Amino acid sequence: MGTYDRLSLNTATTKALTLPEALDTAARAGLSHVGLWRDRVAEVGLEEAARLVRQSGLQVTSLCRGGFLTAADPAGQRAALDDNRTAIVEAATLGTSELIMVVGGLPEGDKDLVSARQRVADRIGELAGFAAEHGVRLVLEPLHPMYAADRAVISTLGQALDLAAPHPVEAVGVVVDTFHVWWDPQLAEQIARAGREGRIASYQVCDFNLPIAADPLLSRGYMGDGVVDFETIGRWVTEAGYTGPVEVEIFNADIWAAPADEVVATVKDRWASLVLPSLQRAGALA
Amino acid sequence: MGTYDRLSLNTATTKALTLPEALDTAARAGLSHVGLWRDRVAEVGLEEAARLVRQSGLQVTSLCRGGFLTAADPAGQRAALDDNRTAIVEAATLGTSELIMVVGGLPEGDKDLVSARQRVADRIGELAGFAAEHGVRLVLEPLHPMYAADRAVISTLGQALDLAAPHPVEAVGVVVDTFHVWWDPQLAEQIARAGREGRIASYQVCDFNLPIAADPLLSRGYMGDGVVDFETIGRWVTEAGYTGPVEVEIFNADIWAAPADEVVATVKDRWASLVLPSLQRAGALA
């Protein structure tokens, strides 16, 4: 297996590029996988995006993102369901089975986290069947607890697995994103559980930089620049049986401002030195 | 019971004040409890601090802080044990049984969170007997996961309870600080567990402000200014059987710059409107 066979470049890492540019950058770097964001797909239109992807020969490992399911009002809930059904169709059209779900924060002025989480469970129940019919899995993403109020009320892998549990594994999965879950004292046991329960749909890597950036959303870094223990987490994910692609998804203002080819070269370096060994070492034990 | 009988003013909220000034401010505001920080105690000396506290008639609800137990080297570990023994003696001398423990982050350049957490468990084991002999409880404080690498490797209430479990309840307890734990999907069950297991040593309140402050340590706010659901968390803490003092501990640059009497007046207002009702409502159900 080649060094970069499992490396997938998420287009959020090269945010300045259009979809054709991002696909070209990944292909020229010798990669075989990309993760796509819906905004770049929308710019060229879905059918054209699907054509560009086919032409590139790249495999789409996930579409980001569905979600935002916490509305408390019926109109907001209907709008969310409509948008997610659209996203499910987009994922299928782009040739990926994985739709990453960032489930949304508290509605404006609302502090009732317990009820917001219940609404997420309810909306997932309403979407799971439609997703499965289209061969798409709703991939629940736990976000770092610093985003629990304003971005995603799913805060731990264990919680994501609890939400997934009532649904078939083909319909609802979870993503392990190192930036969001590295701190979790239950991480080892919940990754093992995710493997046992057949729920690991994606492994995403980037670092958690300190000090936290002025815009906390942009506090991600190249693997190795922050505090994440990739060796340990990669081993846990591999021991849990995950053998799929690994997306590198970095939101960082400096990285976004740098030339894309340099960014991809650094991503490949860090992948080869910090991520791939953790996946192989565990594999060797098996 | 009077409106402010359970309100304890933590001196970190009025950070600019010396110990005598802080005691005077609390007493003039009609409060009967204060939480103290060691730096303000050290400024006047321990014996004088104890005399000032006795003179004030105020009850000390906790001393902040021991901890910083994650050193990997023997010299660092010895220094940490020495400092914590000193803090235990200080707490006893000041008339409080509760020593708040902020357990520390990863050593410089170290990313092995699993081992750092094990060292915390080991050090607590070495300190618990000494604490109990002095009538002092080591109060483990889970900190928000955004501080897991650089401030405290205890990130959830459940983890704190697991670390406390091997030790007598008189020796090791936990604190529920709304700023740190509001986001936790397991919060209801872990607060209930903390009550059942007799571990709730302190309830601390302040809000989690958004956007997160440039210095994330200072992103605390007056109750009501952020995203914390005090009504729900206060009810859970009360249903868990906690009837002790409630500390208001706010790190916030604007609040530190404001006149202390105004700060205390606002704390009392927010206490009466947002915190006390949550404690009474639950009590009324019992």
Q: Which of A111, A159, A232 sits opposite B227 (nearest CB)?
A: A111
Annotate B209-247 with DSSP letters as a single string. Answer: -SSPPSSGGG-EE-TTSSS--HHHHHHHHHHTT--S-EE
Q: Are residues A210 and B149, on separate chains, in Cβ contact within 8 Å? A: yes
User: What is the DSSP-derived secondary structure letter of residue A244?
Assistant: S
- State the pLDDT at residue A1: 78
Tell me the residue type at A263.
V
| Helical residues (DSSP H) of chain B, grouped into ranges | 19-28, 38-44, 46-56, 74-94, 113-133, 157-164, 178-181, 187-196, 230-239, 253-257, 260-270, 276-285
Residues of chain B with pLDDT under 50: 282-283, 285-286
- State the pLDDT at residue A255: 95
Distance CA B66, CA B69 (A): 9
Closest Cα in chain B to A158: B185
SS3 B27: helix
Q: Which of B144, B145, B210 sits opposite A149 (nearest CB)?
A: B210
- Tell which residue, B138, B77, B130, B141, has the closest CA to residue B103: B141
A contacts of B179 (beta carbons < 8 Å)? none
A contacts of B146 (beta carbons < 8 Å)? 144-146, 212, 216
Which two three-digit tokens encode residue A102? 């960032």
- The whole-number mean pLDDT for each consecutive block of 10 residues of chain A, a chain of 286 residues, reads 95 96 97 97 98 98 98 98 98 98 97 98 98 98 98 98 98 98 98 98 97 92 98 98 97 95 97 96 50
Q: Please give, rounded to a whole number of angstroms, the shortest distance from the CA of B217 to a CA of chain A.
A: 10
pTM above 0.80, yes or no: yes
Please check whether residue B151 is in contact with residue B102, taking contact to mean a CB–CB distance below 8 angstroms: yes
The whole-angstrom distance between residue B85's C-alpha and the CA centroid of its chain comes to 18
B contacts of A159 (beta carbons < 8 Å)? 185-186
- State the pLDDT at residue A131: 98
Distance CA B247, CA B141 (A): 14
Instruction: Identify any residues that bridge with A6 across adjacent strands, giving them in sequence order.
Output: none
What's the distance, Cα to Cα, between the start and end of chain A in Å?
Answer: 17
Annotate A10-25 with DSSP letters as a single string. Answer: ETTTTTTS-HHHHHHH
Distance CA B233, CA B187 (A): 8
Q: Which of B145, B212, B227 sits opposite A183 (nearest CB)?
A: B145
- Residues with Cβ within 8 Å of A137's Cβ and at least 6 positions away in sequence, in order, are A97, A98, A99, A131, A169, A170, A171, A172, A173, A201
Angle at CA of residue B165, ends B163 and B169, nearest 5°: 115
- State the pLDDT at residue B281: 63
**A–B interface: beta-carbon pairs under 8 A:** 91
Distance CA A77, CA A280 (A): 44
Q: Which of A106, A117, A212 sits opposite B146 (nearest CB)?
A: A212
Q: What are phi and psi of B248, to 5 degrees?
A: -105, 115
The four Cα atoms A66, A68, A69, A73 give a dihedral, to 10 degrees, of: -140
Tell me the residue type at A122.
D
A contacts of B210 (beta carbons < 8 Å)? 149-150
Q: Are residues B114 and A227, on separate chains, in Cβ contact within 8 Å? A: no
Q: What are phi and psi of A5, to 5 degrees?
A: -60, -30
Distance CA A140, CA A159 (A): 10
Q: Which residues of A220-254 are buried (b: 16+ CB within 10 A; e: fewer)?
A: bbbbebbbbbbebbbbbbbbbebeebbbbbbbbee
Which two three-digit tokens encode residue B74? 């023997």
Please check whether residue A232 is in contact with residue A275, taking contact to mean a CB–CB distance below 8 angstroms: no
- State the pLDDT at residue B1: 78
A contacts of B229 (beta carbons < 8 Å)? 111-114
Q: Is the ipTM of this complex over 0.90?
A: yes
Distance CA B87, CA B248 (A): 21
Please check whether residue A241 is in contact with residue A259, taking contact to mean a CB–CB distance below 8 angstroms: no
